[in-house]
Amino acid sequence: MIVILLGAPGSGKGTQSQRLAAKYGFTHLATGDIFRAEIAQGTALGQKAQDYVKNGKLVPDAIVTEMVAGKIEAGGKYLLDGFPRTLDQAHGLAGILKGAGSSVDRVVCLTLPNEEAIRRMTSRRVCKNCAAVYNVLTSPPKVEGVCDKCGGPVVQREDDSEATARKRLMVFEDLTQPLVAFYRAEQVLSDVDASRPADEVETSLSAIIDAAKAAR
Question: Can you say whether residue 94 is alpha, beta or left, with left for phi > 0 and alpha for psi between -120 and 50 degrees?
Answer: alpha
Long-range contacts of 137-144 (CB under 8 A, 24+ apart): 139/198
182 binds ligand AMP (CB under 6 A): no
35 binds ligand AMP (CB under 6 A): yes
* 106 classed as catalytic: no
205 closest CA partner among 110, 128, 119, 138 = 110
| Binders in 137-176 for ligand AMP, by CB under 6 A | 159, 168
Cα 25 to Cα 146: distance, rounded to the nearest angstrom: 26
5 binds ligand AMP (CB under 6 A): no
Which of 3, 59 has the CB closer to ligand AMP? 59
83 binds ligand AMP (CB under 6 A): yes
Residue nearest to ligand AMP (CB): 32
| Binders in 89-108 for ligand AMP, by CB under 6 A | 89
Residues facing residue 80 across a β-bridge:
4, 29
- Which of these segments, 82-90, 143-151, 181-189, 203-211, binds ligand AMP (CB under 6 A)? 82-90
Which of 89, 204 has the CB closer to ligand AMP? 89
- Which residue type sits at 175? L
192 within 8 A of 208, measured Cβ to Cβ: yes
Instruction: Enumerate binding residues for ligand AMP (CB under 6 A).
Output: 9, 31-32, 35, 52-53, 56-59, 64, 82-83, 85, 89, 159, 168
